[in-house]
Amino acid sequence: MSEIIRIGVDTSKSVFRLHGVDAAEQPVLRKKLRRRDMLAFFARLPATKVGMEACGGAHYWARELTALGHEVKLLPAQHVKPYVRRGKNDRNDADAICEAMSRPRMSFVAIKSAESQAAQMLMTTRERLVAYHTQLINTIRGHAAEFGLTAAKGPAHVEPLLARIADDKTVPELAKDLFAMHGQALKRLKAELREIEAKLKAWHRQNEMSRRLAEVDAIGPIGACLLAIKAPDPQAFRCGRDFAAWMGLTPKDHSTAGKMRLGVITRAGDEALRRTLVVGATSVIKQVSKDKGNPSPWLRDLVARKPPKLAAVALANKVARIAWKLMRSGERYDAARAGIVSPAASLAPPSRRQGRYAPGPSTYGSRLCAAPLARCSASGTRELNSKRESQSDATPQT
């Protein structure tokens, strides 16, 4: 057998397909392995390049094969698909992985450590609990409406609603028992959420990058944790615009014959990360729409001439580029240079601008995702604004 220079591995739960080529790019290895035989087979092979599609399990195998001396490359699945020959099967998938990893312009995914995957598991667990929390509240409200009982919006009004149901004589006993079960499940869920958010708060305080990113307007602690956990190596991007494009915050381009046709945002990259940045930007846009805070002239003009959702996506794009710069350079956030808030607002102490993590009964939604812009107009700028108001009756310039 000729010397193998590259191996493509198609992974699954129990069966692995291998495709290896030599220096002449000729196939010299086509093998199917069971999961239990994977490490033993690669332990006998000389050190070589191994490629796999990036997924949750691929990071584990990448760490194990790297420990055996192999050079492991993780490829995005969408970049491998164009190299799949006619007919979708494990053999052709391994061949496509082996071919794709040889391309000089191919981009690769950084291998995550076990600690990084544990932190990512913390975020996905919180996301699942928040979704179930909303689902359970909607279930209680829907069933209560069937018996003519309603309540105001907000999670804080669900427990009073359950108390009213328990005291209502028109509600059958069977329904009361079921509502009581839902109420107990809601209490357990809230306790689990508090525990998860306590762990997330501790992780945020221990991570230096997350603390720096939380100082950015429209990011906050949740967005900072997501960026620190899920964002790839910032050195892999040429500029902040490439990072925003990877996140899916740039328009689709379908141009031809010199005619530019731009569509909606691409929605590429990680959905949770993109959604969190957009939600955080939306909270800032709401503050600006209510004439609160000290927005920059660029942001004020953007909100005045564009729809709120479009302005939120544009602001999220700007915030993503700022986050990339902070992650790459290691600098701290400077509001005056960022162009989101006015220079007067940037005079506030850093503690005033830094996103706080203070979960409460109704903070399982978007309030944790952003540090509102109104925080930037705290006591650090009140004295400055009062001096300006004393000099002129006009509104202070922003």
**Tokens describing residue 259:** 């005619």
Alpha carbon distance 236, 233 (integer Å): 6
Whether 193 and 327 map to the same domain: the answer is: no
DSSP symbols for 275-338:
HHHHHHHHHHHHHHHTT-S-B-HHHHHHHHHS-HHHHHHHHHHHHHHHHHHHHHH-PPP-HHHH
Contact criterion met (CB below 8 Å) for 377 and 294: yes
Whether 368 and 223 map to the same domain: the answer is: yes
Alpha carbon distance 159, 311 (integer Å): 37
CATH number at residue 30: 3.30.420.40
3-class DSSP state of 346? helix
- In tens digits, the chain (398 residues) has pLDDT values of 579 999 999 998 899 999 999 999 999 999 999 999 999 999 999 999 999 999 889 999 999 999 999 999 999 999 999 999 888 899 999 999 999 999 999 989 999 999 999 999 999 999 999 999 999 999 999 999 999 999 999 999 999 999 999 999 999 999 999 999 999 999 999 999 999 999 999 999 999 999 999 999 889 899 999 999 999 889 889 999 999 999 999 999 889 898 999 889 998 888 999 999 999 999 999 999 998 888 889 999 999 999 999 999 999 999 999 999 999 999 999 887 877 887 655 555 544 444 433 333 333 333 344 433 333 333 333 333 443 344 444 333 33
89: left (phi over 0), alpha (psi -120 to 50) or beta: beta
N-to-C CA span, the chain: 73
Choose the final residue of a domain: 205, 221, 244: 205
State the pTM of this model. 0.78
Q: What is the tally of structural domains in the chain?
A: 3
Whether 299 and 380 map to the same domain: the answer is: yes
DSSP state of 371: -
Range of the domain at 67: 6-100
Q: Is residue 396 part of a domain?
A: no
C-alpha distance from residue 338 to each of 9, 290, 343, 368 (Å): 44, 22, 10, 22
Whether 220 and 277 map to the same domain: the answer is: yes
Contact criterion met (CB below 8 Å) for 114 and 63: yes
* Element (DSSP H or E) covering residue 175: helix 173-206
Whether 198 and 214 map to the same domain: the answer is: no
Whether 229 and 325 map to the same domain: the answer is: yes
Q: Is residue 398 part of a domain?
A: no
142: left (phi over 0), alpha (psi -120 to 50) or beta: alpha
Alpha carbon distance 82, 214 (integer Å): 39
Task: Assign 3-class secondary structure to 117-132.
Answer: HHHHHHHHHHHHHHHH
Task: Give residue 164's Cα distance to chain centre.
Answer: 39
Alpha carbon distance 247, 60 (integer Å): 24
Whether 61 and 75 map to the same domain: the answer is: yes
In degrees and rounded to multiples of 5, residue 33 shows phi and psi of: -125, 150
Q: Is residue 105 part of a domain?
A: no
DSSP symbols for 273-287:
HHHHHHHHHHHHHHH
Choose the final residue of a domain: 180, 205, 230: 205
Whether 46 and 143 map to the same domain: the answer is: no
Nearest to 102 by CA among 45, 29, 31, 19: 19
Whether 368 and 232 map to the same domain: the answer is: yes
Strands of 2-42, DSSP E: 6-10, 15-21, 27-34
Q: Is residue 37 part of a domain?
A: yes
Q: Is residue 93 part of a domain?
A: yes
Whether 25 and 138 map to the same domain: the answer is: no
Q: Is residue 109 part of a domain?
A: no
Whether 317 and 376 map to the same domain: the answer is: yes
Whether 250 and 357 map to the same domain: the answer is: yes
Instruction: Report, in angstroms and rounded to the nearest whole number, the Rg of the chain calculated over CA atoms.
Output: 26
Choose the final residue of a domain: 100, 133, 154: 100
**Tokens describing residue 115:** 């600690």
